[in-house]
Amino acid sequence: MLQEIPEGDITEEEKDQAYAALMAPAESLFLPKPVGPAERLPAPIRERLGGTGLKLVNTEVPEWKLVFTKLEETGGLEGMDTGAVNGFLSCIDLAQRVELTPGVFKMMKEANIEPNTLTYDLAMVAHAGMRNPAKVKQLFKQMKKRTSDHSTSGKALGH
């Protein structure tokens, strides 16, 4: 319930009310709880990883290499789509994404999943963030050959 901001001077009572509202317990603010890394993963990835795989994600710093290995051991990306792959990639920090992207592309090929512009963008942004412009250009050329939609492809190249 929002109240109007009073015009003119603010009384001591109004100051006390404002202070009490600011000091109210956090649960009374009705803010959503932060979403953990496992909850951000697309549903098909979460299902494939299962409980033990999700424990690898729900750590202070997820070990994405171990998560990737678990994913490989449990069927890879078979039966998934590009959206699930992109959602998975977007959860991974840039440094680990750089390391894992070749394996993800390989797994996509094995599952007959065609990368789209966003897939390439996620890879290019990671390489750009790790200051690897040669790899960004290589991925951009690869993307141009394989996709017809280049609408978001300038992000990593700074266009």
Which DSSP category does 68 fall into? H
Q: Binning pLDDT at 50, 70 and 90, where does residue 159 land?
A: very low
What digits encode the pLDDT tens for the residues 68-127? 999 999 999 999 999 999 999 999 999 999 999 999 999 999 999 999 999 999 999 999
Q: Binning pLDDT at 50, 70 and 90, where does residue 26 land?
A: low
How far apart CA 136 and CA 123 sit, in angstroms, is 8
Are 122 and 89 within 8 A, CB to CB?
yes
Q: Which residues contact 116 (CB under 8 A, 6 or more apart)?
A: 82, 86, 147, 149
pTM: 0.71
pLDDT of 25 > 70? The answer is no
Task: Quote the Cα angle for 32-90-57, to 5°.
Answer: 70
